[in-house]
Amino acid sequence: MVIMEIKDFGTVKIELDPAQAPITVAHFEKLVKEGFYDGLTFHRIIQGFMIQGGDPTGTGYGDPNQERIKGEFQLNGVNNTLHHGPGVISMARSQNPNSASSQFFICHVDCAYLDGQYAAFGKVVEGMDVVDRVARVRTNFSDKPLEPVVIEKMYLA
């Protein structure tokens, strides 16, 4: 289980699913243990879609110099059946199916159209109300929050 403390919003508990995405879970857990996510922001928030974080530059375009991992999803030959429903956490990536690194997103609503194209690897089991509040923050034209939404701490429990 991953505990994510979001400044001024609350705590989100995420149950990881290594049976669906073992490479992704191991990579994410490694970053969490290293404290990589502590102090980073949710740089892209779209109410009725998802909240995205994990970029050390906070822009969505940053290269964290982390290793790239295999995309564990159907389009890439992996039978990952975890559905992108509300509260599911998944790895963000570029057009390259094996480009996931540190950026992740949590679905705010059902995003079934992402199934088979992104590596879902867990689900919020407590704190979906926190995700909902984050999803409602005011953003600019590029979906960046007007005020930073900071991951104060993320750790394994």
| pLDDT tens, residue by residue, 93-132 | 988 899 999 999 999 999 999 999 999 999 999 999 999 9
The 10s digit of each residue's pLDDT in 68-80 is 899 999 989 999 9
Domains present along the chain, CATH in parentheses: 2-140+149-156 (2.40.100.10)
CA 143/CA 17 separation, integer angstroms: 29
Residue 152 Cα distances to 8, 115, 140, angstroms: 9, 30, 23
| Tens digits of residue pLDDT in 79-98 | 999 999 999 999 999 888 99
